[in-house]
């Protein structure tokens, strides 16, 4: 299915919000994420989807909203998919617990 940029932003927002909501609801901490393989698997699917939608945004949209690090978001997806065994979970934990809340705030302004 082909999505518009606005639909992709909505998807990114939904995946981000659902992931953070789950983490908060379950009381998951960085330490849990760093040491629990099942939690690592749990966070990768939303991160894949967020990165894929970011990657497929139009160049014009990305330029119009260049305060968001689209290349880093899509790059994270590519690293997780193509080098999963080399994943640095400290970086992923920082993304989930620090960068994702900031992204949601940025997306709130767009939406």
| pLDDT confidence of residue 78 | 92
Share of the chain above pLDDT 90, in %: 95
Check if the beta carbon of residue 50 is closer than 8 Å to that of residue 16. Answer: yes
pLDDT digits over 36-78, tens only?
999 999 999 999 999 999 999 999 999 999 999 999 999 999 9
Domain count for the chain, please give it: 1
- The pTM of the full predicted model, rounded to 2 decimals, is 0.93
* Cα 66 to Cα 46, 79, 84, distances in angstroms: 22, 22, 28
- Pair of tokens at residue 107: 């997306």
> Which residue range forms the structural domain that includes residue 106?
5-110
């Amino acid at each position: 299915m082909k999505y518009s940029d606005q639909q992709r932003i909505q998807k990114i927002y939904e995946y981000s919000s659902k992931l953070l909501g789950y983490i908060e609801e379950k009381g998951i901490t960085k330490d849990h994420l760093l040491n629990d393989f099942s939690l690592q698997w749990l966070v990768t699917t939303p991160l894949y989807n967020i990165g894929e939608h970011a990657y497929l945004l139009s160049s014009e949209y990305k330029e119009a909203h260049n305060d968001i690090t689209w290349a880093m978001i899509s790059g994270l997806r590519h690293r997780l998919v193509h080098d999963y065994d080399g994943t640095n979970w400290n970086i992923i934990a920082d993304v989930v617990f620090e960068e994702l809340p900031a992204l949601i705030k940025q997306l709130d302004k767009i939406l």
